[in-house]
Structure 1
Amino acid sequence: MLLGDMGADVVKVERAGKGEDARAIAPKIGGESLYVMMFNRNKRSLALDYRSAEGQQLLRDLAAKADILIENFRPGTLEKMGCSYEELSAINPRLIMVRISGFGQTGPHAQRPCFDVIAQAMSGLMEITGEAGGKPVPSGAFVVDQVTGLYATVGALGALQARERTGRGQVVDAALLDSAVTLLLTAIPEYALFGTEATRKGARDRYSAPANNYRCKDERWIHFNAGNDALFPRLCKAAGLEHLLSDDRFATHAARMANADAIETTIAGWIAQHHSDDVVETLARAEVPCGKVATIAEVVTNPQLKHREQIVDIAYPDGNVPMHGVTVKLSETANSIRRRAPSIGEHTSEVVADWLG
């Protein structure tokens, strides 16, 4: 999707008849999955029986014309189809193959199946997510799937840049577990160097205080971070709590971290007396990073997101479908949404004609 947003001609190769598994996910509009609509814009769909000799040959013919082939089979599947990197590279030396898998192309777990939440569990990400003292929970979104897609995109763009110098393609190997581990912040060196195991802290920031979720008078939650030595005085002055600045327990970043419960209890008492909108405006004027914990209903009407065209309507046969817009803005080669997500095999004949004549 990211490459398509940047102008690439992306052909999604799907199983004839059934398509990808996500097409079964509800809810649906006009028989099409909203989940598929979210991530398959700017693509054309080619339906293929890629387990047949004819389908495998067509895949090789398309790879001969392609810049990049992206696949997320279990390692070894393409090799069984006669479409290994070595075989395809012999046909097209400039081909870049992006291989996305659960555990990478090699290693003791390479052949195991994997989903986003499995990687969250195995990476330790689930261990550090959730309420303090509570059970580990996964993120509310498939963050590992998406960050792996981001790493794969960076790798693909890096391989394209390298090809400008060498004239040859290469393999980009991106794995869910590897990607999830990069989200652990300082947990790995903290354990290796100090024997300290990071665990769940709820919404409290790991590196500064006060920084947490706080309940307001109107029962709404806000989150703010005033933990460093520049922000804390701003918070105290805005809240009329200047006396805290002369309290040795809160005088420095290290002191506030050592007394996080005390400072957050004090701040929570002030916030509980005020309406969430008033607190957000007060802290914004004081240049303290803050925001209301928004409902999805509020997100879709957020004026900043509207201004940035981050929620857009895409036309489908059964009506418009709102979704996320183009995330990265390029000043000279603007990204764009040119196509809605395709139905299964919608462009098979068109792609074969365009690419292979």
Structure 2
Amino acid sequence: MAEIKEGPLKGLKVLELGSLIAGPFAGRLLADFGAEVIKVEPPEKGDPIRKWRMLHEDTSLWWYVQSRNKKSVSLDLRSTDGQEIIKGLVKEVDIIIENFKPGTLEKWNIGYEDLKELNPGLIMIRVSGYGQDGPYRNKPGFGSIGEAMGGIRYLTGYPDRPPTRVGISLGDSVSALYAVIGALMAVYHRNNTGEGQYVDVALYEAVYSLMESAIPEYDQYGVIRERTGSTLPGITPSNTYMCKDGKYIVIGANGDGIFKRLMDAIGREDMRDQPQYATNFDRAQHADYLDKVIGGWTIQHELEDALKILDEHHIPAGSIYNVEDMFKDPHFNAREMICEMDVEGLGKLKVPGIVPKMSKTPGRINWAGPKLGEHTEEVLKKLEIAKQPMNSK
């Protein structure tokens, strides 16, 4: 029988009804810190992510990470029996996570209004493409569409090329973070008042929230922020530069004091105290020239040598890592950001570590993503026990 070990969320019970990325990633984060997360999957096929990307035998490696520390229960939510089981389980849980199209749970008679009658303190996390109301409510939505509509795709890439994407499911992941934040705020509120609520997370809004000053800049000056490649206009110097060995280095020296140290590091003491470079605002007016000066220095040094010099001068700088670089990096390993977990039939599998680090109540990996329906009997047996009246003596 699966055991939930210590963690700051131990005792918190979560019912995960969603599939694929956003909802289940939120469930994973809660499970990493000790919540009991019961993942409900459709019979036979389960969550589609079981078959996404690279497989070991017939199961995705991603599955073992995304559903670690969770219990898998196989239920058909479209059936009356499945809906009745959910109604039984909801009396015992604190949080439900769902990322179906708005109205789907209501169609199955297990929407928020239905379930809060059974558990007034229930918190429901609802992740969808466009939110639970508004004119786009019923449109199908994926993280990729949220990234496009939320603004980040428009800003990603170079100005002379079409918009591109980040190489991960960023929209889903940011939405999952908001889902967890909302869930924990709702738990805090419930603990003070006894009231449950639902938390409405829209994929496009999660991405849109990252847009920094784009809204007031357009409102006041009609400025539409555009793609700028590896630079951020108005933040100078902060860019990617090529080194002598063809490798790239990222340097962030937009702080006033850091800029002075950078000029010392690259042998341009003549520029460190010039008034036209005194502040970030001043330097932004000369960004192209400063990038040319800095790039002229990096191209004379191999990456490791450039990093050593910049480290000696306390300049924020780093190389651009691929996953092999992460495996080899001593800091990743010292911080336990590459962990191992046991997978039946596979052995040891290296997986991402847990974020954030907590000094008193750290998260932990207890087991890998389970087999489909592995905990159905365990969970439903507990439900039957809960239904039985106490024996009188």
Amino acid at match of 2:87: R
What SS does the corresponding residue of 1:69 show, helix, strand or coil? strand
Instruction: Tell me, yes or no, if structure 1 residue 255 matches structure 2 residue 282.
Output: yes
Quick one: which of 208, 212, 221 aligns to 1:185? 212
CA distance in 1, matches of 2:265, 2:120: 63
Instruction: State the percentage of identical aligned residues.
Output: 38
Could you say which residue in structure 1 is the equivalent of 2:192?
Answer: 165
Could you say which residue in structure 2 is the equivalent of 1:146?
Answer: 173
What SS does the corresponding residue of 1:212 show, helix, strand or coil? strand
Instruction: Tell me, yes or no, if structure 1 residue 332 matches structure 2 residue 360.
Output: yes
CA distance in 1, matches of 2:168, 2:233: 21
Residues 175-219 of structure 1 deviation map (CA, whole Å, 9 limit, x = unaligned): 101101011111111111111110111111233212101010111
Instruction: Tell me, yes or no, if structure 1 residue 267 matches structure 2 residue 299.
Output: no
Could you say which residue in structure 2 is the equivalent of 1:105?
Answer: 132
Instruction: Tell me, yes or no, if structure 1 residue 353 matches structure 2 residue 381.
Output: yes
Q: Does the 8 Å CA contact 1:47/1:348 hold for their aligned counterparts?
A: yes
Could you say which residue in structure 2 is the equivalent of 1:133?
Answer: 160
Q: Does the 8 Å CA contact 1:250/1:263 hold for their aligned counterparts?
A: no
Amino acid at match of 1:3: L
> TM-score normalised to the size of structure 1?
0.97
Q: Does the 8 Å CA contact 1:215/1:271 hold for their aligned counterparts?
A: yes
Q: CA RMSD in A?
A: 1.3
Instruction: Tell me, yes or no, if structure 1 residue 343 matches structure 2 residue 343.
Output: no
Q: Does the 8 Å CA contact 2:298/2:306 hold for their aligned counterparts?
A: yes
Could you say which residue in structure 2 is the equivalent of 1:29?
Answer: 56
What SS does the corresponding residue of 2:328 show, helix, strand or coil? coil
Amino acid at match of 2:361: T
Deviation, 1:246, is 4.9
CA distance in 2, matches of 1:17, 1:45: 13
Deviation, 1:334, is 2.0
Quick one: which of 112, 122, 140 aligns to 1:85? 112
CA distance in 2, matches of 1:61, 1:308: 41
CA distance in 2, matches of 1:107, 1:157: 25
Q: Which runs of 4+ in 1 moved over 4 A?
A: 246-249
Quick one: which of 251, 259, 262 aligns to 1:224? 251
Q: Does the 8 Å CA contact 1:62/1:356 hold for their aligned counterparts?
A: no
Q: Does the 8 Å CA contact 2:233/2:284 hold for their aligned counterparts?
A: no
Could you say which residue in structure 1 is the equivalent of 2:44?
Answer: 17
Quick one: which of 327, 348, 352 aligns to 1:320? 348
Q: Does the 8 Å CA contact 2:237/2:291 hold for their aligned counterparts?
A: yes
Q: Does the 8 Å CA contact 2:122/2:196 hold for their aligned counterparts?
A: yes
Instruction: Tell me, yes or no, if structure 1 residue 240 matches structure 2 residue 267.
Output: yes
Could you say which residue in structure 2 is the equivalent of 1:51?
Answer: 78
CA distance in 2, matches of 1:47, 1:132: 48
Amino acid at match of 1:345: G
CA distance in 2, matches of 1:354, 1:239: 67
Q: Does the 8 Å CA contact 1:208/1:228 hold for their aligned counterparts?
A: no
Amino acid at match of 1:164: N
Q: Does the 8 Å CA contact 2:258/2:315 hold for their aligned counterparts?
A: yes
Quick one: which of 222, 239, 248 aligns to 1:195? 222
Amino acid at match of 1:146: S
CA distance in 1, matches of 2:36, 2:280: 51
CA distance in 2, matches of 1:59, 1:259: 62
CA distance in 1, matches of 2:358, 2:273: 48
- Say how many residue pairs are matched: 357
Instruction: Tell me, yes or no, if structure 1 residue 96 matches structure 2 residue 119.
Output: no
Q: Does the 8 Å CA contact 1:213/1:221 hold for their aligned counterparts?
A: yes
CA distance in 1, matches of 2:349, 2:383: 30
Structure 2 portions without partners, runs of 5+:
1-27, 386-393
CA distance in 2, matches of 1:14, 1:110: 24
CA distance in 2, matches of 1:243, 1:333: 51
Deviation, 1:132, is 2.9
Deviation, 1:250, is 2.9
Deviation, 1:172, is 0.9
CA distance in 2, matches of 1:91, 1:292: 54
CA distance in 1, matches of 2:165, 2:211: 14
CA distance in 2, matches of 1:54, 1:337: 33
Quick one: which of 323, 326, 334 aligns to 1:307? 334
What SS does the corresponding residue of 1:83 show, helix, strand or coil? coil
Structure 1 portions without partners, runs of 5+:
none
Deviation, 1:109, is 0.5
CA distance in 2, matches of 1:247, 1:262: 14
Amino acid at match of 2:374: E
What SS does the corresponding residue of 2:215 show, helix, strand or coil? helix
CA distance in 1, matches of 2:170, 2:49: 17
Q: Does the 8 Å CA contact 1:312/1:325 hold for their aligned counterparts?
A: yes
